[in-house]
Amino acid sequence: MAILFDQYFPCDALVQMGKDFHHRGWMAGTAGNLSARDVAQPDSFWVTASGNPKGQLESTDFLRIAIDGGKVLETPLEENKPSAESSIHQVIYQLFPEARCCLHVHTVDACIASERCAAPMLPLPALEMLKGMGMWLQSPEVTLALFDNWLEVPRIAAEIEQRFSQQAPDISALMIRQHGLTVWGESLQQAYNRLEIMEYIMSYMARRD
Amino acid sequence: MAILFDQYFPCDALVQMGKDFHHRGWMAGTAGNLSARDVAQPDSFWVTASGNPKGQLESTDFLRIAIDGGKVLETPLEENKPSAESSIHQVIYQLFPEARCCLHVHTVDACIASERCAAPMLPLPALEMLKGMGMWLQSPEVTLALFDNWLEVPRIAAEIEQRFSQQAPDISALMIRQHGLTVWGESLQQAYNRLEIMEYIMSYMARRD
Amino acid sequence: MAILFDQYFPCDALVQMGKDFHHRGWMAGTAGNLSARDVAQPDSFWVTASGNPKGQLESTDFLRIAIDGGKVLETPLEENKPSAESSIHQVIYQLFPEARCCLHVHTVDACIASERCAAPMLPLPALEMLKGMGMWLQSPEVTLALFDNWLEVPRIAAEIEQRFSQQAPDISALMIRQHGLTVWGESLQQAYNRLEIMEYIMSYMARRD
Amino acid sequence: MAILFDQYFPCDALVQMGKDFHHRGWMAGTAGNLSARDVAQPDSFWVTASGNPKGQLESTDFLRIAIDGGKVLETPLEENKPSAESSIHQVIYQLFPEARCCLHVHTVDACIASERCAAPMLPLPALEMLKGMGMWLQSPEVTLALFDNWLEVPRIAAEIEQRFSQQAPDISALMIRQHGLTVWGESLQQAYNRLEIMEYIMSYMARRD
């Protein structure tokens, strides 16, 4: 049976994803953060510590953070500091109790695909790939929620919380303009698969026009 | 002598191809399916089970399916379910008795290259690479058959069956709009080579215009 | 000291290059051919046998061919057949006695970069990279020789022989339209380096416009 | 803890970076040079010897050079010759005492992104990625210094010295037109991260327009 990311300890799976995404150019510099809900204590999640290059992570480069309030609950290394972007992961786990994994990356394609759209929702092309986002429809009309990029990341998190608590997004993904995609899933494997799908769609949009 | 994919047990060869194509971005999410005709029982074929990430396959993630009727004949794992897209593989093996392997992938380039063409046949540029599709001609005029994408995959399969039984395609490949390429060959290696060639041509078309 | 390709037995070095170039998408299908002059018998050269996938070569998948006349002199495997494109390699070794290695690949970028030029010579941009082709000049004005693609490969070879025997090319490279680049060098490593440089320049030209 | 490049002997770290950057196509042919300040003798730096393919380096393919004057102080191999471009590294270490590593690569994206700008400063888009260059601002207005490419590399170095000693650059990077990026950092890891970030930004600019 296919070896899924969920068969590993979450931080080990995220280390593998970090190498994979860095290799693809989706986590250049030290960009992005990867997180997974803790299985035993599902009111907390493990997230990459701030400032590490994501292609060179070890399984100790994570912190466990409380979904409610954001307190650091546990870390293998004292020097690990949470990234400001952890607040976005918190909001996702709060809003979507079924979310088990949340992946945030920075890609050129997603920045290009979204910059031409001034509206808060980016209409996506009716590609077959949308089935992988759960849209089993003929010619689906799906939008991706776009958010403005603020220096103060908690402001981005607050805007996500506000908009999504009023209206659920079409798909388990969002885009921060000139910044990057965030994708979540009900398993680590689903989050991984869906990030690939969203990047595929962003690449199509960036190159088609 | 070059180690060809046909020297392996078919499912092992398809596992290798899955890793290869996933790495290239041709099987993002869990997209696509790979199949090979069974050597001992050539009225059936092995095809990837539904829902697995194609870069993480094991040799057990396949089902053997009857070409006539589509019944599942054998599977190493009880939980394996055939993909709806298996019906397209069935039609290919029915129409082309010499086909031994059929590969279906989803690529950005092929979607872009084909979307500008409203006709049911996409004229291909006269690239030297067409020799690899069996077209040994000066300035060959070759077309790629385009099919509409339907939510009900058997409808796509039926349209392929209908059109190709009336008129054989120029080359052993077809494209489903906004979806992806399907390529077949008289051996696993030929199918692999020809998929590479079709992607090369699609990439040229997507980027040239 | 850097381990150069010339430190290996020529066919072993070409096997490595085949895997490398196939991985980059420069030898899709079974496209292209790689050759190296025999050190002990420099009036002959080893060249890839026809029809093999270039990413899966073994060191036995080569033939030794006489530069004058093209007779097959030696092969580890009886089934090895020379490619029609061997005639181009022959001409290069005839015209350039210092050439020790000749690499022919098919790339999308080179096809796109050259197709906009109707003239027989393609002017290259004055990139720093031209130093690697031996052009140590401020703002060098360098051209790449373009040849038409003929189904009969010996006709291409004859046109190369005719033009280059009248006027030597600016650089050790040529392009066959809608087909691919051929690059040669005074060592295996130089040919490898120069193929990389030409592809860099073709990629720049294909994408800039 | 993430294994950073600074945990290796500098030349070993630069060998790894050479393989990495070559694989990405940033050091085609024998292009580019990589250097790191010597820890014990910080008035000197180790830099790649001239003419080697950067994907095949060994830890002996370096020379130690005096920052003041450029004299070769030490080399594991007698045949190692400094590249003319070492003069640019010298100037960077002179101007920026905190610089510990300097990376110069040739990329298609950076050449395309900069060629449309006639001014000596290229305005960069306000991407989130600029945080990785130390710009923690809302909608930062950052420029990249552009320099003309001269056959005599010391002339480029002199122009860098002249301009930067009058006005410090916004970020630890510069671009030589039609040639390539130079990026430096206070550690090997920071230089590596920042080169990735600059390439990300150049790729965005080259493809957006």
Each residue's pLDDT tens digit, B40-99:
999 999 999 999 999 999 999 999 999 999 999 999 999 999 999 999 999 999 999 999
Nearest to C56 among B4, B129, B199 (CB): B4
Three-state DSSP class for residue B207 = helix
ipTM entry: 0.96
Alpha helix locations (H) across chain D? 10-23, 86-95, 108-115, 153-166, 188-208
Nearest to B28 among A137, A200, A207 (CB): A200
C29 touches chain B (CB under 8 A): yes
A28: which DSSP letter? -
Euclidean distance between CA atoms A56 and A51, whole angstroms = 11
pLDDT band at D186 (very low <50, low <70, confident <90, very high): very high
| pLDDT over threshold 80, residue B7 | yes
pLDDT tens, residue by residue, C24-82: 999 999 999 999 999 999 999 999 999 999 999 999 999 999 999 999 999 999 999 99
| Distant-in-sequence, close-in-space partners of B111: CB < 8 Å, separation ≥ 6 | A127, A204, B177, B178, B179, B180
Closest-CA distance, D74 to chain A, in angstroms, reads 32
Q: Which runs of E-coded beta strand occur in chain A?
A: 33-37, 44-48, 62-66, 72-74, 101-105, 121-124, 142-147, 173-176, 180-185
D82: which DSSP letter? B
CA dihedral for C102, C107, C112, C118, sign (positive or negative): positive
Report the chain A residue with the minimal C-alpha distance to residue B54.
Answer: A2
> Per the CB < 8 Å rule, is C29 touching B127?
no
Residue among D11, D61, D117, D178 with most chain C CBs within 10 A, to mutate: D178
Nearest to C30 among B138, B193, B200 (CB): B193
Burial grade of A4 (CB within 10 A; 0-12, 13-18, 19 or more):
middle
| Pair type for strands C121-123 and C101-105 | unpaired
Euclidean distance between CA atoms A179 and B89, whole angstroms = 41
Contacts of B115 in chain A (CB under 8 A): 208
pLDDT band at D116 (very low <50, low <70, confident <90, very high): confident
A72-106 residues labelled b (16+ CB within 10 A) or e (exposed): eeebeeeebebbbbbbbbbbbbbebeebbbbbbbb
| pLDDT over threshold 80, residue D69 | yes
Which of A121, A196, D168 lies closest to B26 in space, CA to CA? A196
Token look-up 């790979």 returns B34
Q: Which chains touch C (3 or more CB pairs under 8 A)?
A: B, D
Per-residue pLDDT, averaged over B109-128, amounts to 95
| Pair type for strands D143-147 and D173-176 | parallel
Euclidean distance between CA atoms B51 and A183, whole angstroms = 19
> Taking CA C197 as the corner, what is the angle to CA C192 and CA C201, rounded to the nearest 5 degrees?
150
Distance of CA A170 to the CA centre of its chain: 15
What is the average pLDDT score of chain D? 96
Nearest to C207 among D30, D106, D108 (CB): D108
Q: What are the φ and ψ backbone dihedral angles of A49, each rounded to 5 degrees?
A: -70, 155
Query: What pLDDT was estimated at residue D127?
Result: 97
> Do D176 and D94 touch, CB atoms closer than 8 A?
no
Euclidean distance between CA atoms B86 and C37, whole angstroms = 49
Chains B and C touch (3+ CB pairs under 8 A): yes
Chains D and B touch (3+ CB pairs under 8 A): no
The three-state DSSP-derived secondary structure of chain C is: CCCCHHHCCHHHHHHHHHHHHHHCCCCCCCCCEEEEECCCCCCEEEEEECCCCCCCCCCCCEEEEECCCCCEEECCCCCCCECCCHHHHHHHHHHCCCCCEEEEECCHHHHHHHHCCCCCEEECCCCHHHHHHCCCCCCCCCEEEEECCCCCHHHHHHHHHHHHHHCCCCCCEEEECCCEEEEEECCHHHHHHHHHHHHHHHHHHHHHC
| pLDDT over threshold 80, residue D198 | yes
Query: What pLDDT was estimated at residue C2?
Result: 85
Which of A32, A78, A82, A84 lies closest to A54 in space, CA to CA? A32
Three-state DSSP class for residue D23 = helix
> Per the CB < 8 Å rule, is C1 touching D58?
yes
| pLDDT over threshold 90, residue B209 | no
Query: What pLDDT was estimated at residue C1?
Result: 79
Query: What pLDDT was estimated at residue A1?
Result: 80
B203 touches chain A (CB under 8 A): no
Three-state DSSP class for residue B175 = strand
Query: What pLDDT was estimated at residue B2?
Result: 85
Three-state DSSP class for residue D3 = coil
pLDDT tens, residue by residue, C167-192: 999 999 999 999 999 999 999 999 99
In percent, how much of chain D has pLDDT > 70? 100
Q: What are the φ and ψ backbone dihedral angles of A100, each rounded to 5 degrees?
A: -115, -15
| Distant-in-sequence, close-in-space partners of C70: CB < 8 Å, separation ≥ 6 | C82, C86, C87, C90
> Per the CB < 8 Å rule, is B126 touching C178?
yes
CA dihedral for B80, B83, B88, B91, sign (positive or negative): positive
The three-state DSSP-derived secondary structure of B13-80 is: HHHHHHHHHHHCCCCCCCCCEEEEECCCCCCEEEEEECCCCCCCCCCCCEEEEECCCCCEEECCCCCC
How many Cβ atoms sit within 10 Å of the Cβ of residue C79?
Answer: 9
> Per the CB < 8 Å rule, is C208 touching D31?
no
Token look-up 């080569």 returns C62
A199 touches chain B (CB under 8 A): yes
> Do B172 and B104 touch, CB atoms closer than 8 A?
no
Query: What pLDDT was estimated at residue A189?
Result: 98
Euclidean distance between CA atoms A154 and A161, whole angstroms = 10
* Chain pair A-D, CB pairs under 8 angstroms: 66
Euclidean distance between CA atoms D167 and D209, whole angstroms = 29
Query: What pLDDT was estimated at residue D17?
Result: 98
C11 touches chain D (CB under 8 A): no
Residue among D1, D23, D187, D209 with most chain A CBs within 10 A, to mutate: D1
Strand ranges of the sheet holding A180-185, from the earlier edge strand across to the other edge: A72-74, A62-66, A44-48, A33-37, A101-105, A180-185, A173-176, A142-147, A121-124
Contacts of C115 in chain B (CB under 8 A): 208
| pLDDT over threshold 80, residue D209 | no
> Do A172 and A133 touch, CB atoms closer than 8 A?
yes
> Do A127 and B178 touch, CB atoms closer than 8 A?
yes
B7 touches chain C (CB under 8 A): no
Report the chain C residue with the minimal C-alpha distance to residue B204.
Answer: C108
Q: Per-10-residue mean pLDDT for chain A, 209 residues long?
A: 92 98 98 96 97 96 97 96 95 98 98 94 97 94 97 97 97 98 98 98 93
> Per the CB < 8 Å rule, is C2 touching D56?
yes
Contacts of C79 in chain B (CB under 8 A): 1
B78 touches chain C (CB under 8 A): no
| pLDDT over threshold 80, residue C161 | yes
Contacts of C61 in chain B (CB under 8 A): 1-2
C207 touches chain D (CB under 8 A): yes
